Amino acid sequence: MLKTSNAYGNITITDEAIIKVAGFSALDCYGVVDLVDKKAAESMPEALKNRSFNRGIKVFTIGNRIILDLNVIMKYGVSINAVAESLKSAVKYNVEKFTGMIVDSVNVNIVGVRV
């Protein structure tokens, strides 16, 4: 949970709100099929049944800095490096725009590939 204040008062942003913004941004990137929990990736068919914007994302906050971990399934045939870099910059930009805080890092873990 992020807490900050300005001239108008105190602002509190929950981790769930940050996760939603990061999830929408991640799934909007070309080449990203879904977000999954690492544990759910072991049983891949169950992980692919329902799409959720808050699965597979963890938020860590240190002061006013945010660190995000994303577990993604990518589309087969795309450049993993290019998609991962695009994903990092899109999520970083949107979360910083939403929160007004600094995103220190976005860690992308590719859990699987789907045809």
User: In whole angstroms, what is the distance from residue 78 CA to residue 8 CA?
Assistant: 46
Considering only residues 49 and 4, tell me which one the structure prediction assigns the higher pLDDT.
Answer: 4
Question: Are 71 and 22 a contacting pair, CB within 8 Å?
Answer: no
Considering only residues 44 and 112, tell me which one the structure prediction assigns the higher pLDDT.
Answer: 112
pLDDT of 37 reads 87
Structure confidence at residue 49 as a pLDDT band (50, 70, 90): low
- Beta strand pairing call for 32-35 and 65-75: antiparallel
User: In whole angstroms, what is the distance from residue 93 CA to residue 103 CA?
Assistant: 8
Domains and CATH numbers, the chain: 2-114 (3.30.70.1350)
Distances (CA, A) of 110 to 10, 27, 31: 37, 14, 12
Taking all residues of the chain, what is their mean pLDDT, rounded to a whole number? 88
Helices (H), the chain: 15-27, 38-41, 44-47, 80-99
